[in-house]
Amino acid sequence: MTEQLKRPLPVRVRRQPDGIPMDDLFRSRPAQATLLPRRPPPEEPDLVERPGPAVSGWVAVPTGLAALAGAAAALWRAGPPSRGGQLPHWEWAALAGCVVVAVVSFGGLTRGRTGSAWVLSLFGRYRGTVRRTGLVWISPFVLRRRMDVRLRHWRSEPIAVVDAEGSALRVVVLVVWSVRDTARALLAVDDHLGYLREQVEAAVARVLSQLPADAFRGDTPTLRNAEAVGDALTRMLAAECRAVGVAVFSAQPTRIEYAPEVAAAMQRRQLAVLDAKHRDSVLTGVIDAVDDTVTRLTSRGLVELDDFERQSLVKDLTVAFYTRRGGPAPQDQE
C-alpha cells in the first residue's frame, strides 16, 4: 500500500506460508503508483487530555458534615428568635460560610464509574478529565460531561464500493476502537462516532479499489486475503482518527460479496474458471498417464510401434483415460 498506510499504528507484518510479506500484496499492482500520499488531519497541540481537578469524595463528605455541624452549633447558640436570640455580625458571616461550604461539598459529589470519564469545562474552556472511580468530588461550578472510554466495537452496514476491475461490491466491516483522548474526542470534532463511521466508509472505498475481488486470470493478489486488507484498513483508520482522540485497534472486513446486480454474472464467471481449471488438471493427469503407459510398453519391448501406431495408441489411451476421469470424450476431427 502507499506510504501513508504504513505510518500510523505500527502493526507486525505477517508472512504468507511462502515467505511473502502481507504488505507486498498491495505493491504488486501498477495502480498503486497513482495514489498520492494524503496528509492526516491536523492535531491541536494545546487540546490534549490532562488530569482534571478532583478529590476523593470521602474527603468532601466529612468537610460537608463539619460545616453543617458548625452551622447547627451557631444556630443553637443564638437560641430561638422568640427568646431574643441574636448573633453578632461575625457569627452570621461564619454561619453563611458554613452553609456555603456544606452546599459546595455535597453539591460536588458524584460517582466515577469504571470505563467512563468526566470531561470538565469552564466557560467553554477545557479544564481536564477525571478518570477516578468510586465516590469523587468535582467542583460544582464546572460543566461535567460523561464520556465512555471502554473498548467498543462497531459493525457497519453493507458499504457499496468497487474493486480494481470496476466490479460493484458490498462490504461489511467490524471496527474495534476506543476513546484514547477525551479532550479531542469531545471538543475537536462535533461527533467522534459519526466521524469514525465516515472515515470507515472512505477507507474501505480507498483500500478495496486497489485489488480485484477474484483472480480470474492467474494467481494475482485479491481481496479474499482478508488479513492483508484488514491490516491496511487498520493503519489508515488509525491515522485518520488519531486527530480526534480515537484509537482504532482493528478494522476487519467480515463479508465481501458482489452487489446483487452483478452477482449472477460473476458467479457464472467463477464457475467457468473453475470448470476450465478442472479440465486442465484432468487433461494434465491423462497426458502424464498416457506418456507413462506408452513409455513402459515400448521400453520393455512388449510392443513394436511405428509413428502411425504410436499416434493411434496415444489417441485411444487418451480417450479412455479422459472419459474414465469424468471428462467428456473428445470429438474426432477430420
Q: What are 139-186's pLDDT values in tens digits?
A: 999 999 999 999 999 999 999 988 888 888 899 999 999 999 999 999
Q: What is the pLDDT of residues 40-71, one digit of tens each?
A: 777 777 889 999 999 998 999 999 999 988 88
Q: Under DSSP, is residue 287 helix (H, G, I), strand (E, B) or coil? A: helix
DSSP class per residue in 222-239:
-TT-HHHHHHHHHHHHHH
Q: pLDDT grade, residue 331 (50/70/90)?
A: very low
Cα dihedral 53/58/64/65 (nearest 10): -170
Average pLDDT rounded to a whole number, residues 109-133: 93
pLDDT at residue number 289:
77
pLDDT at residue number 30:
43
Q: What is the pLDDT of residues 151-162, one digit of tens each?
A: 999 999 999 988
- Cβ–Cβ under 8 Å, residues 255 and 172: yes
- Cβ–Cβ under 8 Å, residues 160 and 169: yes
300 vs 243, residue with greater confidence: 243
pTM > 0.85: yes or no: no
